[in-house]
Amino acid sequence: MAKPQKHVFVCSQTRPSGHPRGSCSQKGCNEVLQTFWQELQRRNLFDRISVTYSGCLGPCDGGPNVVVYPEGVLYRGLTKGDVAAIFDEHLLGDKPVERLRAPADVWG
């Protein structure tokens, strides 16, 4: 297997209903994850890009959250409609999609 050039981690954390932190699962992350996998397959990029589900990435209130490495770019509030732009502009074009990025102070 070739070493991927970029890794996409899609938060898929679940929490019980009523939990004070909520979760990306409650905000629709599964649809986002499925769309990442569909685009990966449609574009046949398995040798360049890896898409993995993950546990909580930290800033739950803005989810669904996705982080892309090696840059460490955090995207938040994604819908399935945002995924194609992340492929086109960031994963293939090497320019993060600024309109979808979490603000720098999200890490506190």
Interface positions with ligand FES (CB under 6 A) = 11, 13, 23-24, 56-60, 63, 65
- Least spacing, CB of residue 46 vs ligand FES, in Å: 25
Task: Give whichever of 37 and 92 is closer to ligand FES, judged by the CB atom.
Answer: 37
Residue 32's closest CA among 81, 69, 73?
81
Instruction: Give the nearer residue to ligand FES in terms of CB position, either 45 or 57.
Output: 57
Q: How far is the CB of 93 from ligand FES (least distance, A)?
A: 25
Q: How many helices (H) and strands (E) does the chain have?
A: 2, 4
Q: Whose Cβ is closer to ligand FES: residue 59's or residue 96's?
A: 59
Q: What are phi and psi of 46, to 5 degrees?
A: -60, -25
Which among 19, 52, 47 has a CA at the least distance from the CA of 33? Answer: 52
Give me the least distance between CB of 24 and ligand FES, in Å please.
3
- Give CA–CA dist 72/16, Å, rounded: 28
